[in-house]
Structure 1
Amino acid sequence: MQADTIIACDFLHIDLVDLRWVYALVFLEHGTRRLHIAGVTVHPTAQWTVQQARNLTAELRVHLESLRFLVRDRDSEYIDSFDAVFESESIEVLRTAKRPPRMNAHCERVIGTLRREALDHVLIGNETHSRHILDVYARHYNGHRPHQAREQLPPDAKDPVTPQDDPSTPRGLPQTRVLGGLINEYRYTA
């Protein structure tokens, strides 16, 4: 499937309580819907962006073999060195046309999801706080949040949950609070 060979990236700006912004570099694997928060900074520079690309390729080392395309916009922080990091891994860089949000729709959608489910409900104080919120949310997104394209499985799930044979047998449904209760996760227990 072609979607399994695509990874997309985009910048996300986060409003702080002191009316400043921080920026996060977000990557999304199309096939698995796995979310990667590459980094957060107050001043994204081209060199910072290249370093985040290197960090991501090191993190995805084994998994990189299945990726063939990187979809990105024409932001000035993406310089030739950024593209070279991916091209050295045999990943072709595809640039979107100027200003069409639908050409990188999956990544734009996950950024909207990040905002709706987490960032819009939390007052974020600084870069460290925003990094914490994004990391916690990424763990939830990859480990627990269902995705329609994956038959309601989260990105890290290998097999669907099998229903219990005897419905009369009681079982627990413990709740885990994420981000101070902003998000709740549930798991069946025997």
Structure 2
Amino acid sequence: MDREIRDLIRQMSSANPLWGAPRIHGELLKLGIEVSQATVAKYMVRRLGAPSPTWRSFLRNRSEGIAAIDMFVVASASFRLLYVMIFLAHDHWKIMRTAVTEHPTAGWLSRQITEAFPWETAPRYLLRDRDASFGSDFRSRVEAMGITEVITAPRSPWQNAYVERVIGSIRREYLDHVLIFNERHLRRVLSSYVDYYHRIRMHLSLDKDCPDPRPIMPPRIGKVIAIPQVGGLHHRYERLAA
């Protein structure tokens, strides 16, 4: 193992404390560096505490024609509760739309599904929980779009596991590390993360690629540079021609 590669692994590990060996290994593959994941783990910076658990079912399952919707709450610096809605397409785990409001009414939610899925791109099934916000206006709009609703059992978030996983990633990788000032600020934060999620973040279920695939940059292109993303919490690694 060249010293340059060992130093790069340590640099990535130090600059991205939320990353594990699979994420760093994926970045190295995109830089044309062929090493094993076990080697990456060997040279990472050691930290106290157990690593984040993996989710095997998320790596294996892919479903086409299914989308999921869910909401989560974010408290602002002034202790106002902001509701975030997220649409996730199960095909390649793309976030189709996020939206923020203080009052998640059925009318507001019905408008969001129209924006997320124009009529010709509507999924066959929509997976959701039993939140009271999904009222008659929302159900009527979904039916008019030819979408079949699949409603989870009471108190069973695991039945909508994929979108719950994405919400968890948003919290762990960004929201837990920033202070949200207002609704407008939260929209900017989410927009930044969604861009990172689609074009830069490595997904284990996509063979360590992104929903929008990243090209592999062989060593002959040039040296490796780090580009800060989402406020410097994460980095993108590319090769820059000399």
TM-score norm. by structure 1 comes to 0.86
Q: 5 Å matches for 1:85-124?
A: 85-124=141-180
Q: Which position in structure 1 is the counterpart of 2:36? A: none
Greater mean alpha carbon deviation, residues 170-179 or residues 40-49: 170-179
Distance in structure 2 (CA, Å) of the matches to 1:45 and 1:140: 29
Q: Distance in 2 between matches of 1:175 and 1:15?
A: 32
**Would the alpha carbon gap of residues 178 and 2 (structure 1) be closer, same or farther in structure 2, given more than 3 Å must change?**
closer
1:174 Cα deviation (Å)?
2.9
Gaps of 5+ in 1: none
The one-letter code matched in structure 1 to 2:222 is: R
What SS does the aligned partner of 2:158 have? Answer: helix
Give yes or no for contact 2:68–2:88 (8 Å, CA) kept in 1.
yes
Matched with 1:72 is: 128
Paired residues of 2:98 and 2:190 also in contact (CA < 8 A): no
8 A Cα contact 1:38 1:53, kept in partner: no
Asked if the contact 2:221/2:240 (under 8 Å) is kept, the reply is: no
CA contact (8 A) 2:129 2:157 kept: no
Letter in 2 for 1:43: H
Larger radius of gyration between Structure 1 and Structure 2: 2
Residues in 2 aligned to 1:72 and 1:81: alpha-carbon distance in whole angstroms: 15
Matched, 1:51 2:51: no
CA distance in structure 2 between the partners assigned to 1:175 and 1:62 by the alignment = 40
Quote how far apart the aligned CAs of 1:89 are. 3.0
1:128 Cα deviation from its structure 2 partner = 0.4
Structure 1 residue corresponding to 2:202, chosen from 137, 146, 151: 146
Rate the CA distance shift 1:63–1:153 in 2: closer, same or farther, 3 A: farther
Can you give the 5+ residue segments of structure 2 that lack an aligned partner in the other structure? 1-60
Deviation at 1:94, TM superposition (A): 0.5
Partner residue in 2 for 1:12: 72
Larger relative helix fraction: 2
Aligned AA for 1:144?
I
Bigger shift: residues 2-11 or 102-111: 2-11
Give the one of 82, 87, 104 matched to 1:22.
82
**Deviation readout 1:89-143 (Å, 9 max, x if unpaired):** 3321111111101100001111010000000000110000011100100010011
Question: What's the C-alpha RMSD, in Å, of the aligned pairs?
Answer: 2.0
Of stretches 179-188 and 94-103 in structure 1, the one that deviates more from structure 2 is 179-188
Residue of structure 1 in register with 2:95 after alignment: 35
Alignment of 1:182 with 2:242, yes or no, is: no
Provide, for residues 8-39 of structure 1, a one-character-per-residue CA deviation record: whole Å limited to 9, x for no partner. Answer: 01001111111221011011111211113331
Matched, 1:136 2:192: yes
